[in-house]
Structure 1
Amino acid sequence: MAEYKHGVYGNLSDSVVESMVTVSTVPVYFGTAPVNLVRGYAEADIVNAPVRLTSLSDARARMGDSSDWEAFTLCEAIAAHYNTTAEAVGPIYFVNVLDPDKHRAKKETVEVIGLVNGTASFATDRAILDTITIAAEGADEGAQPYAEGADYTLAYNHNAGKVVITAKEGGAMADGNIAVSFFEVTPEAITSEDIIGYTSDDGQYFGIDALQLLYQEQFVVPNLLAAPGWTDDPEVYSRLVKVAQKINGHWDAFVVADLPLQDGKSAVDTIDKAIAWKDDNAYDSERSAVCWPQVSDYTGRVFHLSTLYVVESLRADNDNDGVPFESCSNKAIPVCRQHFGDGVPNRGFDQVRANGLNERGITTAIGWAGEWVLWGPHTAAYRFGSTTMDARSIFATAIRMLFHITNYFQLEWATTIDEPMTRALQDRIINREQAKLDGYVTQGALLGKPTVVFDQANNPDSSIMEGDFRWDISVTPTPPLKSASVYVAYTDEGFSAYFEDGE
């Protein structure tokens, strides 16, 4: 039975290979953020909901920030986009699953600190700031605590990672020891199931399923998805790839994932182990890129390559007016070495060995041309020499361009749904879509002569009577210059110069 349709849709057709408002890049990250450091978090709608972040200060104000990236995985993305030696690039979107109301310790923590010259501080990134109460050390059990606003002010210094308490002039708080009581969040309680999430019967969205809210609430099309620290779990990877297909029934997104450095008690610390793990765990969707290993910068911060892949994809797309035809491979990243895990003796590998990863659909990082770069332009489905692989699966930019075209088509014509389908509208759609395709050719995103047609064979009377119409677009995405070879031959012809008469 034919599927009922009401709306405008975009799909990928089978590849045609004779030989073997605009859509811009919207990266969405899933994970945990220290929202416990945000005052009024409960009313801020920052748990299991997409949040747009535009700068380092904006991210810290709205989601909190921490140097403990293992506990608060989204903070890695904050640093990568807004706090490295490279130019900041955004905006980005976060879906945080850490809920301080649920993921908190059962007992209060008490810190006794000294108030000197009206100021006191203590280091923590676990305190739920909204639960802090302060009393004089040794105060009677029934005594009233100091009042925030009247006796003191409370702030969080992200650079120092400290809660800062300042006594107010005229208030009751005086120099001396004070007892600060608060509840702490427990990010270690978060599991892959929290990241995967679900949609409840009463219309609440959790984890990855909260992606459905982005377009509904902000009219933004998500098209690049990552969950660094979590996508090395096959269930998270599988769920993310599945959800990325037809978000809200329409939008296509590309997933960037990581292979693990450790699988249970077994280390994944060599190229052969990484390739075997990828194959064994079916990290092979053409709708994704997978990365291995991790990398560190000069300060010792360790990044997942998926994070830097998103950063450099966003940067390249922004340089090309939001059209995703330029690969992030061979783009400089602000790191200085490969990282295989603490205590692992592996000293790393060069381009020659990195190509062994690339030919199996794994993106990596290498030192090249005087800097560290991402290395690998392929999708996870790529396997060098395969005779069964769809040609569109070779390069990530090809898949992302196809998604860009289908997403853009849907956005362009969404407002025409339920208008009379006149011949004039049919021609307008064809002419406009052809103009866009020709523009992509001029820009360098497509090659040759892309076409859009309204074919009678694909629009039978039975479909037209139902108001269902189809346009077919054929395009050739521009491939990257993956290799360049020159052949130099020796010749003895030049010896004749010794015997030529000079002028």
Structure 2
Amino acid sequence: MVYRHGVSTSERDTSVKSPVQSLSAVTVAVGTAPVHLVQDAPVNKPVLAMTWDEAVEKLGYSENYTNFTLCEVMDTHFNLYTVSPVVFINVLDPDKHKTDVTDQSITVQNKKAVIDQEGVLLDSLIVKTTPGGSELEENTDYTAVYDENGKVVISAVANGAITDSTTELVVSYSYLDASKVTEADIIGGYDAETGKSTGLELINAVFPMFRVVPGILIAPKFSKKTTVSAVMRAKVKNINGIFKAKAYIDIDTSVANVYSKVPDYKNQNSLIDEFATVFWGDIKFGDKIYNFSSHAAAVTAQTDENNGGIPYVSPSNKSLKMDALVVNGEEVALGQDQAAYLNANGIVTALNFIGGWKLWGNRTSAYPDKTDVKDVFIPVRRMFNWVENTLILSFWANVDDPTNNRLIDQFIDSSNVWMNGLAAEGATLGGRVEFRREENPDTDLLNGKVKLHVFMAPPTPAEDIEFIVEFDVSYLSGLFA
């Protein structure tokens, strides 16, 4: 023992821990990106981006959203709704999803020629002046670069083989072909031999890589396939074996092309799940067409951000950046009663009624088959996910600590302080954590198992507001005042 003479101090860690809150609406988007535009194309590798420039630098960008679905996620999140971060998982593989073109003739003007094909892989390009001629040498006879539209521009190099009299070039190349991406590519899986995961399976890599918990899983365009949406719904319930998220799923409007058909489509394809929200219609903004899930995920994140990062406010009746709701290329104008019919069947859509275009619908796809309040309202379900994820993050450091009074007190005191704070902000109507004797039998405690019981009541959205209006005859007396 150190000999002491005088006054000294020491410190102990605060017994009440501040919660390590999980970001409530981190979007994880699985799809296709124009990775031919970047070095070291990220294929089946999660990419975290905080800004538009970072996303474009890592994944490339094209306004061909049909082929490159992750680009619409960049646009909605970073440009239209200004929310971040976003995790992108690109499955479009230049080694696998490509088409070969041989001896294509292109016109030369002013010693330049453009290949009118997006996605050309530069390392596959062969340039000749005639079909049977010799291959020209890059940087000696020509240079090849992408223009602002993603097309390859071939330019003559001084004193090279392309001269003023050259009117035509013959090119062979491979181009990145997004049409070859299948449902199986999006679903992905785990390869036991290589130890690598692909597609939706990579949602389990997000937290270990970036220390952010997925909040919303989307696969724009591809989630319209029921095989893909089924896997999405399964994945969000058990991320890394502990975390929970929400799946935002687009309904296939080529089948459910009229609003009245959508409930039958939902039921026939078993799109009934408290961890999923389904959306009907595509969104048109300017000259661009987006999948609804891209906008919905972004406006959900924006709503959370406007409320302190806590997901207790519904994204319903929040403004969407859009000009029209589109179904199979045709604009659709739903009335409030038609939109309510969809909502009554657990389907979310867009409504242009009062205050411009709004996301319209509070219910998860479990409704009306399920009635438990924690499973049928989007914000309530998301609050349960968020609170559970936050508790895991906050107390993970206590795993394997001695089960004694100090540990139990820390659980209860820290959790209740946090719960009281949520109630004070209006994020819950109230909440508490208890350590109950009947839930912790001696056999469990001897086996290292401890259970804490969390009670909470997130506010439900005021979905149906009614004013009762009555003629009060007593006011007639005012005529004689």
Q: Look up the equivalent residue of 1:473 and give its one-letter code.
A: V
Q: How many corresponding residue pairs?
A: 458
Distance 1:318 1:169 in 2: 55
* Structure 1 segment 395-414 matched on structure 2, within 5 A: 395-414=377-396
Report the 3-state secondary structure (helix = DSSP H, G, I; strand = E; otherwise coil) of the residue aligned with 1:339. strand
Instruction: Work out whether 1:240 is the aligned partner of 2:232.
Output: yes
Distance 1:339 1:466 in 2: 57
2:152 alignment counterpart = 163
Distance 1:180 1:56 in 2: 34
> Closer, same or farther in 2 for the Cα pair 1:111/1:59, shift >3 Å?
farther
Distance 2:53 2:163 in 1: 32
Q: Contact (CA 8 Å) 1:146, 1:173: kept in 2 or not?
A: no
2:34 alignment counterpart = 34
2:43 alignment counterpart = 47
2:412 alignment counterpart = 430
Question: CA offsets, 1:280-308, max 9 Å, x none?
Answer: 11111001111112221232x22222111
Instruction: Report how far residue 153 of structure 1 moved.
Output: 5.6
2:294 alignment counterpart = 307
2:261 alignment counterpart = 273
1:18 alignment counterpart = none
Distance 1:58 1:368 in 2: 37
1:490 alignment counterpart = 471
Distance 2:446 2:262 in 1: 53
Q: Contact (CA 8 Å) 2:81, 2:299: kept in 1 or not?
A: no
Q: Contact (CA 8 Å) 1:23, 1:322: kept in 2 or not?
A: no
Q: Look up the equivalent residue of 1:283 and give its one-letter code.
A: L
Report the 3-state secondary structure (helix = DSSP H, G, I; strand = E; otherwise coil) of the residue aligned with 2:419. helix
1:295 alignment counterpart = 283
2:97 alignment counterpart = 103
Report the 3-state secondary structure (helix = DSSP H, G, I; strand = E; otherwise coil) of the residue aligned with 1:184. strand
Question: CA offsets, 1:251-301, max 9 Å, x none?
Answer: 1111111111123xxxx22222111101111111001111112221232x2
Distance 2:99 2:399 in 1: 51
Q: Contact (CA 8 Å) 2:128, 2:136: kept in 1 or not?
A: no
* Structure 1 segment 119-134 matched on structure 2, within 5 A: 121-133=114-126
Q: 1:112 aligns with which of 106, 122, 128?
A: 106
Report the 3-state secondary structure (helix = DSSP H, G, I; strand = E; otherwise coil) of the residue aligned with 1:183. strand
Q: 1:394 aligns with which of 361, 372, 376?
A: 376
Structure 2 length-normalised TM: 0.88
Q: Contact (CA 8 Å) 1:128, 1:184: kept in 2 or not?
A: yes
2:452 alignment counterpart = 471
Range with greater deviation from structure 2 (191-200 or 460-469): 460-469
Instruction: Report how far residue 493 of structure 1 moved.
Output: 4.5
Q: Look up the equivalent residue of 2:65 and give its one-letter code.
A: W
Instruction: Report how far residue 139 of structure 1 moved.
Output: 8.9
1:7 alignment counterpart = none
2:180 alignment counterpart = 189
Instruction: Report how far residue 53 of structure 1 moved.
Output: 2.3
> What runs of 5+ residues in structure 1 fail to find an aligned partner?
1-20
2:13 alignment counterpart = none
> Closer, same or farther in 2 for the Cα pair 1:87/1:213, shift >3 Å?
closer
Q: Look up the equivalent residue of 1:376 and give its one-letter code.
A: G
Question: CA offsets, 1:45-73, max 9 Å, x none?
Answer: x1112111233332222212223222222
Structure 1 length-normalised TM: 0.84
Instruction: Work out whether 1:371 is the aligned partner of 2:371.
Output: no
Q: 2:211 aligns with which of 216, 219, 223?
A: 219
Distance 1:276 1:139 in 2: 56
Q: Look up the equivalent residue of 2:322 and give its one-letter code.
A: V
Q: Look up the equivalent residue of 1:261 and give its one-letter code.
A: T
Distance 2:75 2:427 in 1: 30
Distance 2:145 2:51 in 1: 20
Distance 1:328 1:465 in 2: 45
> Closer, same or farther in 2 for the Cα pair 1:260/1:87, shift >3 Å?
closer
Report the 3-state secondary structure (helix = DSSP H, G, I; strand = E; otherwise coil) of the residue aligned with 2:98. coil
Instruction: Report how far residue 185 of structure 1 moved.
Output: 1.7
Q: Contact (CA 8 Å) 1:109, 1:183: kept in 2 or not?
A: no
Report the 3-state secondary structure (helix = DSSP H, G, I; strand = E; otherwise coil) of the residue aligned with 1:333. coil
Q: Contact (CA 8 Å) 2:114, 2:151: kept in 1 or not?
A: yes
Distance 1:57 1:162 in 2: 20
The percent identity for this pair of structures is: 28
Q: Contact (CA 8 Å) 1:66, 1:161: kept in 2 or not?
A: yes
Distance 2:266 2:312 in 1: 26
1:328 alignment counterpart = 315
> Closer, same or farther in 2 for the Cα pair 1:369/1:205, shift >3 Å?
same
Q: Look up the equivalent residue of 1:490 and give its one-letter code.
A: F
Distance 1:397 1:498 in 2: 50
Q: Contact (CA 8 Å) 1:111, 1:181: kept in 2 or not?
A: no
Superposition RMSD in Å: 2.5
Q: Contact (CA 8 Å) 1:108, 1:184: kept in 2 or not?
A: no
Distance 2:171 2:459 in 1: 61
Distance 1:51 1:171 in 2: 41
Q: Look up the equivalent residue of 1:90 and give its one-letter code.
A: S
> Closer, same or farther in 2 for the Cα pair 1:152/1:435, shift >3 Å?
farther
Distance 1:128 1:472 in 2: 57
Instruction: Report how far residue 392 of structure 1 moved.
Output: 1.2
2:274 alignment counterpart = 286
Q: Contact (CA 8 Å) 2:92, 2:181: kept in 1 or not?
A: yes
Distance 1:250 1:356 in 2: 35
1:10 alignment counterpart = none
Q: Contact (CA 8 Å) 1:37, 1:125: kept in 2 or not?
A: no
Instruction: Report how far residue 34 of structure 1 moved.
Output: 1.7
Q: Look up the equivalent residue of 2:453 and give its one-letter code.
A: D
Range with greater deviation from structure 2 (311-320 or 120-129): 120-129
> Closer, same or farther in 2 for the Cα pair 1:491/1:390, shift >3 Å?
closer
Distance 1:251 1:170 in 2: 62
Question: CA offsets, 1:134-175, max 9 Å, x none?
Answer: x4623974455123xx776654344x3433456678988766
Q: Contact (CA 8 Å) 1:152, 1:165: kept in 2 or not?
A: yes
